[in-house]
Amino acid sequence: MRKRVLIILGIALLSVVLCGVGQGFAGVTKYKVPVISDFSGSWAQLFKAWIPIHKAVFAWWNDTEGKKMGVELELKHYDGRYDSSVIASMWPGILSECKPIIALGGGGADVAALQQRLPKDLVPVIYGTPTYGYGWLPDQWLFMVRPLYVQEWLGALMWFINQHPEKRPVKVAFLSCQIAAAMDIVNGVEKYINEVLEPKGLAKLVAKEFTDVNPVDASSQVKKVIDAQSDIVLGIATPAMASAYIRACEMYKVNIPTLASPHHTIWPFGKAMKTYEPFEGHLVVAAHAAIADKSGNAYAFFKILIDKYGLNDELWSPSSMMALTQSVLAVRAVEHAIKKVGPEKLSGQAVYDAMFAAPFTQEELMYTLPTLEFTKDAPFCNKNLKVLIETVKNGKYVVATPEWVPTPTDVKKW
Amino acid sequence: MISLLSHIINGALSGLLYALVAMGFVIIYRSARVFNFAQGEVVIVGAFLFWTFAQYLEFPLWLSLILSFAISLVLGLLIERVVLRPLVGEELFALVMVTIGLLVFIRGLVLVIWGADVHFVPPVFSMKGIKLGPLMLDRGLVYGALMTIGVAILFSWFFNRTRLGLEMTAVAEDHRIALSLGLKVKRSIAVAWAISGALCTLAAIIFVSGKGMTFVAADIGLAALPVALLAGLESIGGLILAGLLIGISMGLAEHFLDPVFQGGVGAVLPFAVMIIVLLIRPTGLFGWKTIERI
Amino acid sequence: MTLPAGVYAETYDQDHALIRTRPQWIWFALLMIFVLTLPLYSSGKVTGIMIVMWITLIAVVGLQINVGYAGQVNMGQSAFMGVGAYTAGALSFHFHLPIWLTIPAAGIGAALFGSMFGLAAVRVKGFYLALTTIAAQYVFAFIMIKLPKAWFGQIEGLRLNPVSLFGIEFDSDIRIYYLVASVAIIMIYGAWGLVRSRTGRALVAIRDNDNAADIIGINVFYYKSLSFFVGAFYAGIAGALWAYYIRYVLSEMFTLWLSVWYLGMLIVGGMGSILGAIIGTVVIRLLQEFITYFGPWMTEFKLLSGIGGEIIFASMNMLLGGVIILFVIFEPRGLVHRWNIIKESYRIWPFPH
């Protein structure tokens, strides 16, 4: 018994030593990049796809640009459980353990936990999710690859208005629930419609309905939307609401198109129902490359990651795109910083300054995003915003706008 | 006017669906004097089971239905045997906590087995609506409501007229006295849990047929609590009335108050009603136990 | 409780005392030194974990007074924390009051909110009370979102600047640690005092049989409301400290699940004793941190990579639920019971326990 214990201890000791030794082979400057993930919280499902994408993109960069510049970025994933308390208690440890020059964020929970303290901690954090109105503050150390949901949706709305065969104000309806985030988007769009579009006779808000987050039945609300002869419905933010909406539409034998973000409606339902038919004519919009388009440059980049860095084709989805764009921006940000201060002197401050110093071109971002130019008045790129719109046509999920569509530039805070 | 009517009718139908879920609560409480907080989770297990058979394995509809009912029946029995049998006679707080623990546990189990994605459940009832004047009603909900009323009448009769039902009622009054009279307490409790499991699946199928769902749908269990309370935790017939009341008031709240408060009133109203009921008349409309008061 | 051999009380004060013998004083002093110097030599990660643990401790101790000592089921503790957090946040944000005012004010605010539900406790018991407090969670969430933006920030939440006391600004973790630890130590000391006093005995009497308590002259109405008042007061203080630590208050951070976790900590630790609350909090939080720490590490393994993170999340749920169920069935008096048995058998060794 004693001998066995000794042998086990010996092996353990040996492995610890070997691990330590393995770390010693450098030659490049290594930096650790913490990633606030969610392994055991409410969005773990999403992050399961994100983690391999982060790793693949960073591995790709290490092998290409990183090698040329003598820098290696090492990812370290942390489980934030999508819970601000956990993230808040973890962050001091992350700071001391990684001394990060840049970090990848998860979503609303870490924004809540970290936003206030980042200017003092001097760590820029990159996010792949779109921004909510309450994130629109100046002088932030957070960077979102996508602009506000409101701006994206308004871009699509403007396109829809221009496309509309009849020349009359487009009737817009909201179908929302009481989740803070959804309400935020609805308020923003409503303000824009009332202040800008209605005076110009372009659009009109005709119905504003609310359902439960998990509605048993939404047919009363949908009936009101139908009676108001709405042309398009905005605000559906959960799968349950989308289900209830489609069900009600089928019952009343109408098909009023909805507008949402790709990960809200068409994609998850297409996967679940194995058909896109109920969503014929509905729209989704995002300020990144189109998922429906597998022939574009963004997919070509993804293909490289599939072939050489272990990703698989099934991962190509709206949520993966968020991880993809986030990682690509992060590596390019580090790259810009290296060009300014050199590979040895990277710091959070250096990367932060590099974010504003020069725009990130579409080519650099591997065509997953349009050209981004960050300024200090907002955590997202507030200039030359462009979006891509996808829809379902003849049962197929296709891109509605092959070229980037500009969004309105006069969106004010609400 | 029409939309008000629509809200009222749809509210009533939804309320009856909640009453069906609440029936599961009441049947367990009536026999075992345990309040099963995990009811919503059992509902969702029923729904996912049905999904597994109907959509994933693509069994024919009738087979999926039978299998789902059967397995949820067994699940009810299993919960009773493993978790609650050891706690017979324990104090109230232990029972409360154990069902809460069960709630968390089953939610985890559901997530492990089925994941958090959207699952689409094939429709059991035809998707065509039922026309009522200018309104279209969800066929599934209407059938569900009719089934709820039917089941309520059935169980009312069962508990008040048949021997087994009366035995179960007696067990609910006091376990020890029932034991001393020679009634089979363990069997009564087991039967109650089994029936409750099956009822949950019925409710689940009505709720999710033809819709996409995720595990969040289990919140229906918490939303059905006020209905059970309003009816009084022992009355099955009273559930119909309670369900209608709560459903209609939710519909009215949605119609009148949601625009004012920007949504969310419909969801919180049942809880507000529940608090009021608890303060004014804790035994609900038709319950028979008196809660000890100070 | 049996005292070690040779220890007996000669005055009332000695009888009351928490710490009676010299070895106990020494252990206590060592613990205090350990706890108070922790942030100085440990990594930032540990400091962060400990700060959250202190805050949770305050809330759970309050819950213990409410649930363990007075026997009133309370599933709304995190809503009460939320009320405290909003109160402290709003007072700091709008009126810039100093924290020695806002923290007690937050406690009082939460206590007032809590005693509204305490009034319900006077009428109903057991399951019904649990339902009422669950309703408190939903009502809280609803109210906080609907109140005007100028008051509580609605969906945007409140953003706070670092607070300061007598010129010391609490903007680094170490300073926040000391603030939180000192408040927690004061509150726990107060709790111990409360439960050994006449009030504490009244609460226990009510827990055991409220009718009998009424008959012998204890004012049940008053003490039941008081138990909720105190429990929510603690929650409010915890919430205020939370607000100052995270510097962002949003009602969605205070969920029903958090309340369930707190109750789970009570069950694991043992109901009916402050020490139980402490043990339960420490054990469960360490368990949570353990899973958080090992989660990413486990997915690194090729073997287990098929399992994926969401299984771990679900397993956390299963773990909590399973732990609660197992403890209720097999160890209803919690870990503190085990601890007491160990202490006893140590003290009366070599006699068997």
Q: Tell me the pLDDT tens digit for each residue of A27-79.
A: 578 888 888 887 666 666 677 778 888 888 888 888 888 888 888 888 888 77
Q: What is the pLDDT of residues B230-286, one digit of tens each?
A: 887 778 888 888 888 888 888 888 888 777 776 667 778 888 888 787 777 777 777
Residue owning tokens 């991962």: A315
C283: how many CB neighbours lie within 10 A of its CB? 16
Q: What is the pLDDT of residues B52-104, one digit of tens each?
A: 888 778 778 888 888 888 888 888 888 888 887 787 767 777 887 888 888 88
Q: What are the beta bridge partners of residue B132?
A: B135
Higher-confidence position of A49 and C312: A49
Which range marks the domain in which residue B147 is found? 16-218
Higher-confidence position of C112 and C353: C112
Q: What is the pLDDT of residue C323?
A: 83
Q: What is the pLDDT of residue C58?
A: 94
When pLDDT is averaged across residues C136-165 and rounded to a whole number, the result is 74
Higher-confidence position of C213 and A414: C213
Q: Does any domain span residue A96?
A: yes
Residue owning tokens 């420490």: C282
pLDDT band at C80 (very low <50, low <70, confident <90, very high): very high
pLDDT band at A13 (very low <50, low <70, confident <90, very high): low
B100, B105, B229, B269: best mutation site toward chain C, by most C Cβ within 10 Å? B100
Total domains present in chain B:
1
Q: What is the pLDDT of residue C156?
A: 64
Q: What is the pLDDT of residue C304?
A: 47
Helix (H) or strand (E) segment spanning residue B137: strand B135-137
Q: Is the pLDDT of residue C108 over 90?
A: yes
Whether B264 and A44 lie within 8 Å, measured CB to CB: no
Q: Does any domain span residue C352?
A: no
Which range marks the domain in which residue C164 is found? 26-347
Three-state DSSP state, A126: strand
Q: Are residues A45 and A135 in the same domain?
A: yes
Whether C120 and B278 lie within 8 Å, measured CB to CB: yes
φ and ψ at C169, to 5 degrees? -90, 135
Q: Is the pLDDT of residue A18 over 70?
A: no
Number of H helices and E strands in chain A, helices first, is 14, 13
Q: Exposed/middle/buried for B84, CB within 10 Å: 0-12, 13-18, 19+?
A: buried
Q: Are residues A231 and A274 in the same domain?
A: yes
Q: Are residues A40 and A84 in the same domain?
A: yes
Sheet holding A29-37, edge to edge: A71-79, A29-37, A103-104, A125-127, A142-144
Q: What is the pLDDT of residues B134-158, one digit of tens each?
A: 777 777 788 888 888 888 888 888 8
- For chain B, what is the mean pLDDT? 81
Q: Does any domain span residue A7?
A: no
Residue A346 token pair: 């990277």
Residue owning tokens 């009533």: B12
When pLDDT is averaged across residues A304-331 and rounded to a whole number, the result is 84
Q: Does any domain span residue A230?
A: yes
Residue B20 to residue B124: CA distance in whole angstroms: 17
Interchain CB contact of B7 with A (< 8 Å): yes
Give whole-number Cα distances, A25 to A19, A68, A94, in Å.
11, 18, 23
Q: Does any domain span residue C5?
A: no
C97: how many CB neighbours lie within 10 A of its CB? 16
Which of A78-82, A86-90, A359-363, C300-304 has the lowest average pLDDT?
C300-304
When pLDDT is averaged across residues A369-391 and rounded to a whole number, the result is 83
Whether B138 and A247 lie within 8 Å, measured CB to CB: yes
Q: Does any domain span residue A10?
A: no
When pLDDT is averaged across residues C235-259 and rounded to a whole number, the result is 85
Q: A317: number of CA atoms within 13 Å, CB side?
A: 21
Q: Are residues A349 and A363 in the same domain?
A: yes
Q: C107: number of CA atoms within 13 Å, CB side?
A: 17
Q: Is the pLDDT of residue C1 over 60?
A: no
Whether C246 and A113 lie within 8 Å, measured CB to CB: yes
Contact in structure between A76 and A98 (CB atoms under 8 Å)? yes
Residue C261 to residue C258: CA distance in whole angstroms: 5
- Which chains touch B (3+ CB pairs under 8 A)? A, C
Residue owning tokens 């409750």: B196
Give per-residue burial for C150-174: e unless 16+ CB within 10 Å, then b: eebbbbbbbbbebbeeeeeebeebe
Whether A40 and C145 lie within 8 Å, measured CB to CB: no
Q: What is the pLDDT of residue B258?
A: 72
CA triple C263-C313-C39, angle to 5 deg: 65
Give whole-number Cα distances, A90 to A35, A98, A143, A327, C187, in Å.
12, 12, 21, 22, 25
Residue B288 gets which letter from DSSP?
A: -
Q: What is the pLDDT of residues A155-191, one digit of tens each?
A: 888 888 888 887 778 888 888 877 767 777 888 888 8
Q: What is the pLDDT of residue C234?
A: 95
The set of residues, in sequence order, having a beta carbon less than 8 Å from that of C183 and lying 6+ positions away, is C54, C58, C103, C237, C241
Residue B205 to residue B124: CA distance in whole angstroms: 8
The set of residues, in sequence order, having a beta carbon less than 8 Å from that of A166 and lying 6+ positions away, is none
CA torsion through residues A358, A329, A73, C39, sign? positive
Q: Are residues A188 and A280 in the same domain?
A: yes
Q: Does any domain span residue B8?
A: no
Which residues of chain B are within 8 Å of residue A255 when distances are taken between CB atoms? none
Q: Does any domain span residue B289?
A: no
Whether B293 and C123 lie within 8 Å, measured CB to CB: yes
Whether C325 and B109 lie within 8 Å, measured CB to CB: no
Q: Are residues A66 and A41 in the same domain?
A: yes
Total domains present in chain C:
1
Q: What is the pLDDT of residue C62?
A: 93
φ and ψ at C49, to 5 degrees? -60, -45
Could you tell me which of A118, A44, A32, A117 has the C-alpha nearest to residue A75?
A: A32
Residue A315 gets which letter from DSSP?
A: G
Q: What is the pLDDT of residue C231?
A: 93
Residue C166 to residue C169: CA distance in whole angstroms: 8
In chain B, whose CA is at the least distance from the CA of C121? B279
pLDDT band at A22 (very low <50, low <70, confident <90, very high): very low
Long-range contacts of B262-265 (CB under 8 A, 24+ apart): B262/A178, B262/A183, B262/A210, B262/C146, B263/A176, B263/A177, B263/A178, B263/A183, B263/A210, B263/A211, B264/A177, B264/A178, B264/A210, B264/C142, B264/C145, B264/C146, B265/C142
Q: What is the pLDDT of residue A189?
A: 86
The set of residues, in sequence order, having a beta carbon less than 8 Å from that of C217 and lying 6+ positions away, is none
Q: Does any domain span residue C113?
A: yes
Residue B171 token pair: 């067990």
Q: Does any domain span residue C289?
A: yes
Q: What is the pLDDT of residue A284?
A: 85
Q: Does any domain span residue B224?
A: no
When pLDDT is averaged across residues A133-161 and rounded to a whole number, the result is 83
Q: Does any domain span residue B96?
A: yes
Q: Is the pLDDT of residue B294 over 50?
A: no
The set of residues, in sequence order, having a beta carbon less than 8 Å from that of C13 and lying 6+ positions away, is none
C67, C72, C128: best mutation site toward chain B, by most B Cβ within 10 Å? C128
Total domains present in chain A:
2
Whether A79 and C309 lie within 8 Å, measured CB to CB: yes
From B69's Cα to the closest Cα of chain C, the distance in A is 24
Higher-confidence position of A92 and A337: A337
Which residues of chain A are within 8 Å of residue C293 when distances are taken between CB atoms? 79
- For chain A, what is the mean pLDDT? 80
Q: What is the pLDDT of residue A31?
A: 86
B108: how many CB neighbours lie within 10 A of its CB? 23
pLDDT band at C300 (very low <50, low <70, confident <90, very high): low
Contact in structure between A390 and A405 (CB atoms under 8 Å)? no
Q: How far is CA A22 from the centre of its chain?
A: 36
pLDDT band at C302 (very low <50, low <70, confident <90, very high): very low
Question: For the whole model, what pTM was predicted?
Answer: 0.82
Residue owning tokens 């324990």: B90
Which range marks the domain in which residue A251 is found? 150-286+387-406
Whether C155 and A184 lie within 8 Å, measured CB to CB: yes
- For chain C, what is the mean pLDDT? 82
Which of A374-388, B58-72, B111-125, C208-222 has the lowest average pLDDT?
B111-125
Interchain CB contact of A96 with C (< 8 Å): yes
Q: How far is CA B41 from the centre of its chain?
A: 10
What CATH number is attached to the domain comprising C141? 1.10.3470
Q: Are residues A267 and A160 in the same domain?
A: yes
Q: Does any domain span residue C182?
A: yes
Q: Is the pLDDT of residue C230 over 90?
A: yes
Q: What is the pLDDT of residue A19?
A: 45
Residue owning tokens 């150390």: A141
Residues in chain B: 294
Contact in structure between B247 and B16 (CB atoms under 8 Å)? yes
Q: Does any domain span residue B271?
A: no
Q: Does any domain span residue A13?
A: no
Q: Does any domain span residue B72?
A: yes
Q: How far is CA C191 from the centre of its chain?
A: 11
Q: Is the pLDDT of residue C60 over 90?
A: yes
Whether B118 and A272 lie within 8 Å, measured CB to CB: yes
Its ipTM equals: 0.80
From B130's Cα to the closest Cα of chain C, the distance in A is 34
Number of H helices and E strands in chain C, helices first, is 15, 4
Contact in structure between B16 and B243 (CB atoms under 8 Å)? yes
Which residues of chain C are within 8 Å of residue A78 when distances are taken between CB atoms? 292, 296
Q: Does any domain span residue B199?
A: yes
Could you tell me what percent of chain A has a pLDDT over 90?
Answer: 0
What CATH number is attached to the domain comprising A363? 3.40.50.2300
Q: Does any domain span residue B144?
A: yes
Give whole-number Cα distances, C102 to A31, A88, C165, C239, in Å.
42, 22, 11, 11
Q: Are residues A342 and A402 in the same domain?
A: no
When pLDDT is averaged across residues A219-247 and rounded to a whole number, the result is 82
The set of residues, in sequence order, having a beta carbon less than 8 Å from that of A185 and lying 6+ positions away, is A132, A133, A149, A150, A153, A235, A237
pLDDT band at A405 (very low <50, low <70, confident <90, very high): confident
Q: What are the beta bridge partners of residue A34?
A: A76
Which residues of chain B are within 8 Å of residue A44 when distances are taken between CB atoms? 116
pLDDT band at C64 (very low <50, low <70, confident <90, very high): very high
Which residues of chain C are within 8 Å of residue B279 when distances are taken between CB atoms? 119-120, 123
Q: Are residues A131 and A173 in the same domain?
A: no
